[in-house]
Amino acid sequence: MSSAWTLLPLLLLHLCDLVAASAPRHNVVMVIFDDLRPVLGAYGDPLASTPHLDAFAQGGHVFTRAYSQQALCAPSRNSLLTGRRPDTLHLYDFYSYWRTFVGNFTTLPQYFKQHGYHTYSCGKVFHPGLSSNNSDDYPLSWSAPAFRPRTEQYMNSPVCPDREGVLRKNLICPVHLQTQPYKTLPDIESVTEALRFVESRKSSRDSPFFLALGFHKPHINFRFPRQFLQRFPLQKFFNYTEDSLKPADMPAVAWNPYTDVRARDDFKHSNISFPYGPISRQQAAQIRQAYYASVAYVDDLFGKLLAGLDLQRTVVLVLGDHGWSLGEHAEWAKYSNFEVALRVPLIIRTPEFPVSQAKNHTAITELLDVFPTLADLAGLPPLPSCTEATAVTCGEGKSLYPQLQGLGLDAAQDYVALSQYPRPGMLPTKHPNSDKPKLRNINIMGYSLRTDLYRYTLWVRFHALNFSRDWHDIYGEELYDHRLDAGEELNLVPLPEFDDVRQRLRRRLMQAVDPALLSHSLQHFEE
């Protein structure tokens, strides 16, 4: 009898394992917005008109301080989808494919596919072109060829009618759908296809699905149905920021001259002086208005997607691939290491946790954390942490699952976010393009560390031939205290009273970039 009682707990445990194994697994939907900073009502933005994302956030977990690894589409997306930093992938531009360039690393959708999920991509998930092998990494990441909207081919075409009816390549482009190619827009096509896919899987009992939907907006150009502009009176955007000039203590290497904005037909004849501008107050307000209208447009489409999902059986994760400057520091677009270019929305909703457990998480998080988090939420084997650069399947981020469970401490000081941006030289240039330098032209790398209280950025010599850096050769240094200066306007580096903080953060940054550096070795870099 005693032996039977001894075996009973083991039998019950085995029975629980069998029940768990036979239980239906959740579907997973990951939604990526292109160039979306947290201009959402759920993030406290009073100018936003995002009712669908706000309602979604009310039932989910909102990470209020999530950061991209690089404020550029291809490097950010490949980092997110492989769970590895740009320095690990050696990918800082659009022109190399990590599998052939550095290593055949397992991606997030590939990991789900390997564990029995049917994986499918709609819209812009991987960055199209060479950086995803001109195939969106099919067939390795996806169970079927990725869906690309047929109207994508017109995204940079002259399709914006001006007042005389001439078609232009404008930055600001509110349109009537019937005037557009195929009478639609790419994001509308992507949502239609995503809903078709979800409906087609309702009758399938073979496997759960992993769906990635990538919205093109609010990426420029700001082309959206004209009615969304009416939600945003222009006068509300004139006093968005007081910045009109480059901050005096900002290193020149930190500046991005927003060349893509200048190149659009409605701006290229405005005589905006290179590299510092400024843009006129009227144009600045119009850009902000159009950005918010673009966000409202994709929020409306997100609502249509959400209406077609069974949230009782589906994990949904929403994020932006990086932010976008709206005149802060008198800068526009992305291409920098500032908070506005790196901070993104990150919202998770899962059937595992009731809506009543929804909460805001203030701990510092990175987009690297998405891969291991989704694996845990789906009940897949935990993603191993990378211990060697050549490992095929591993990640450099942390799982957020303990925080969702309420087990992880939201002690923000325990976590940091590490981001980076390359430059060809110390000064902003058109040729080579200092906003988007190609690998062969990269001579400087700016590494940025976001802690609970500070952002610290160090611009150092970078050797593109062997992907090494010289910590002795410094081109710029920045320190911002977010307790007093959330806009990162005042660079504290010149102030001697912040020397101790600066040196401590420099050591922490260098060890985050080069973990092999020993503490005593760092003494050689002290001033």
Catalytic residues: 73, 127
Reading the block at residue 28, the tokens are: 């997973």
Reading the block at residue 235, the tokens are: 């006068």
Q: 251: closest CA among 421, 37, 91, 430? A: 421
Reading the block at residue 215, the tokens are: 């919205």
Find out whether 27 and 208 touch, Cβ atoms under 8 Å. yes
Cα dist from 414 to 2, 264, 362, 409, 493, whole Å: 48, 43, 11, 9, 24
DSSP 197: H
Q: 103: closest CA among 84, 128, 76? A: 84
DSSP 354: -
Q: Classify 165 in phi/psi space as left (phi over 0), alpha (psi -120 to 50) or beta.
A: left
Tokens 């410094």 label which residue?
474
Distance in angstroms (rounded) separating the CA atoms of residues 504 and 244 = 32
Q: 155: closest CA among 190, 121, 130? A: 190
Q: Mapping DSSP to helix (H, G, I), strand (E, B) and coil, where does residue 227 land?
A: helix
Find out whether 458 and 474 touch, Cβ atoms under 8 Å. yes
CB burial of residue 169 (10 Å; 0-12, 13-18, 19+): middle
Reading the block at residue 499, the tokens are: 């020397």
Distance in angstroms (rounded) separating the CA atoms of residues 87 and 422 = 11
Find out whether 398 and 389 touch, Cβ atoms under 8 Å. no
Reading the block at residue 116, the tokens are: 């029995």
Reading the block at residue 379, the tokens are: 């009940």
